[in-house]
Structure 1
């Protein structure tokens, strides 16, 4: 990888604004359908103290993810300061709702411009970050399912998928082996399999069992904090639901949103959360504001922080280019 094409500032702003408009429109339509007056009455029950707690839990998640990114970078021998890692990671949040995971690519671009690291050296950071998140969310989903459903087939599917993600997180060399055996099985697309195997090997070089386990623990704690925030919100609005069910709702929404490939999981995440809450008997007058509050204090809070940090990150990039 020798170059990286990023959208212009105007394109980024347009994509984010379009995402915000879409999110607000979706929430407004749902609120009208469920009874707008009840929705607003429920939202008024969110106190400033609760809102501060929800944002603090999100900050805990972001902080642990920054620490994980920093540990990966240090293990690669890149030697950034913790402050630089924080700026790079948070600035990427600004592009969370832009197409093509541009936020993650933007982090690599900043590291190339500010610290002079080639993309082929930093790409494993991006891959490892995703694998760790998938493993953590998968583990939490399995916990939520185990405590919230008696469907053995659903538990079996979730356990199988989670096992794959955890194996990738703890033993990334298994991915290179899987790619090799996949090529032997199909005997086609050698270039595609070759690239996949190189990416797997580069990521495997980043990990040691101790580092992989410690970063997975950081990810589990961070995402569990977001699940707990949803639990606090639902209880503040009067919904009698268990903590483990909230873990299921949040993680299932995250995974479905990721599978839709829509920036920020917009639509898929909210729809899944609402559907699961409805199945549990939570009225839409509670489910809709709880989902909106959850997304505002997680996704949109992160985007706001990213835009607050991005000017300083870009100034660093311009200064380094002189």
Structure 2
């Protein structure tokens, strides 16, 4: 984790902020070009259907997701012994959103850096929080997608993706000894770096604290509720644009896009998520002049809204970190 902290120096942070702005700009240009190619006038006419009440509802549902995920981060942090308040957890979590579209999961590393800098929580203690946070999201999205596949015509590759996501997540959660065995095999295979492998074993053991039955059920419930809120926001957008898709199909399209975007390993899932959602909407009979603005709106209301909130919180977070020196 030392390199992650050094990567957040002032010059590097300025370059990251420039990269975020450039990424947002390129995304907007790409969606505008796609809209023009697919029939610009019809798309812009649909965008005008967005009322102020609907926009506020979309942003509110996204805030529900961010709030529940921040609460889960706080539960995990306290479970591993980090002395952090709920307000601090929410602040650190939202600040990390500013770096969502940067390579290398820098936003998540930033949250750990803030806990180390402001609360004295060592990385060896808090690294399991990052891993559990990712596994919880992966398991919840995969489970939602899997349930919706029961009601939607089966797509073998999507079914395999959902099964893989949920299986890996729950196996890692319920059988930490499998990860311990993998670490042991790695050490025996290399015969080197005993301190590194010792720290890995310690991290796996601390992760077991985050996957006790009560914590596992609570974190899964928070993740499911949070992602369902954003799925429902997508459903509202489709309804506003006149796409008559049932709720379960809207959930299926949204979660499929999230899962495929995560599998691409591209920051924020940009590109893979949108392409998957557009393809699945087209497969459900939604015309492109509806699918493109619906996809663009939900991504702005979820991903880019989070990035905007993170950018607003990031300067204050850095000031707090400097004062904690």
Aligned to 1:80: 84
Aligned to 2:36: 32
Secondary structure of the residue aligned to 1:91 is helix
TM-score of the two chains, using structure 1 as the length reference: 0.92
1:146 and 2:150 matched:
yes
Q: Which of 244, 255, 258 is residue 251 of structure 1 equivalent to?
A: 255
Secondary structure of the residue aligned to 2:261 is helix
TM-score of the two chains, using structure 2 as the length reference: 0.91
Q: Which of 214, 233, 238 is residue 237 of structure 2 equivalent to?
A: 233
Aligned to 1:305: 309
Tell whether the 8 Å contact from 2:79 to 2:209 is kept in structure 1 after alignment.
no
CA RMSD of aligned residues (A): 2.2
- Structure 1 residue 304, shift from structure 2 partner: 0.7
Aligned to 2:6: 5
Matches within 5 A, 1:282-321: 282-321=286-325
Aligned to 2:213: 209
Q: Between Structure 1 and Structure 2, how many residues are aligned? A: 318
Q: Which of 279, 287, 290 is residue 275 of structure 1 equivalent to?
A: 279
Deviation per residue, 1:234-263 (Å, 9 max, x gap): 011000111111111111111111111111
1:55 and 2:59 matched:
yes
Tell whether the 8 Å contact from 2:62 to 2:229 is kept in structure 1 after alignment.
yes
Unaligned 5+ runs, structure 1:
none
1:162 and 2:166 matched:
yes
Distance change >3 Å, CA 151–CA 276, structure 1 → 2: closer
Distance change >3 Å, CA 266–CA 161, structure 1 → 2: closer
Aligned to 1:14: 18
Q: Distance in 2 between matches of 1:154 and 1:69?
A: 28
Tell whether the 8 Å contact from 2:80 to 2:206 is kept in structure 1 after alignment.
no
Q: Distance in 1 between matches of 2:49 and 2:262?
A: 30
Tell whether the 8 Å contact from 1:170 to 1:213 is kept in structure 2 after alignment.
no
Secondary structure of the residue aligned to 1:239 is coil
Aligned to 2:104: 100
Aligned to 2:225: 221
Aligned to 1:114: 118
- Structure 1 residue 6, shift from structure 2 partner: 2.0
Distance change >3 Å, CA 318–CA 246, structure 1 → 2: same
Aligned to 2:137: 133
